[in-house]
Amino acid sequence: MFDSDNPIELAGTVTEWQYTNPHTFIILSVTDEAGNEVEWTLEGRSPSAIYRLGWTPESLQPGDEIIVTVRPLHSGEPGGNYSNIRWEDGTEIDPTAGRP
């Protein structure tokens, strides 16, 4: 389902942070090379798994500018599996430290 051999980096604006079972999702608005806004649906680990790392339903908010590593969908649709979430300046998000 996900292309693990060809990860990409996406920078965009969080539209929605879904902290739901069985997986978390980031809905990310990304400006493509043509200047169009494209909404990416990015699937992550379960809430119970990331809760142990400090993530909560409040860790991300609509309007947050982030960068993520994405293993894109093989279908070519704007979606994939996310990891390595960073703030727009490139610093890694530490959910245990709270919001900047």
Dump pLDDT digits (tens) for 33-72. Answer: 999 999 999 999 999 999 999 999 999 999 999 999 999 9
* 68 membership: H or E segment, kind and range: strand 65-72
- Whether residue 1 lies inside any domain: the answer is no
- Percentage of the residues of the chain whose pLDDT score is greater than 70: 97
- Whether residue 37 lies inside any domain: the answer is yes
- Domain membership of residue 51 as a residue range: 8-94
Amino acid (1-letter code) at residue 6: N
- How many domains in the chain? 1
3-state secondary structure 46-99: CHHHHHCCCCCCCCCCCCCEEEEEEEEECCCCCEEEEEEEEECCCCECCHHHCC
- pLDDT at residue 100, rounded to an integer: 65
- Whether residue 100 lies inside any domain: the answer is no
- Whether residue 2 lies inside any domain: the answer is no
The pTM score is 0.92
Report d(CA 97, CA 91) in Å as an integer. Answer: 13
For residue 98, is pLDDT > 80? no
- Whether residue 84 lies inside any domain: the answer is yes
- Whether residue 3 lies inside any domain: the answer is no
Provide the CATH number for the domain around residue 79: 2.40.50.140
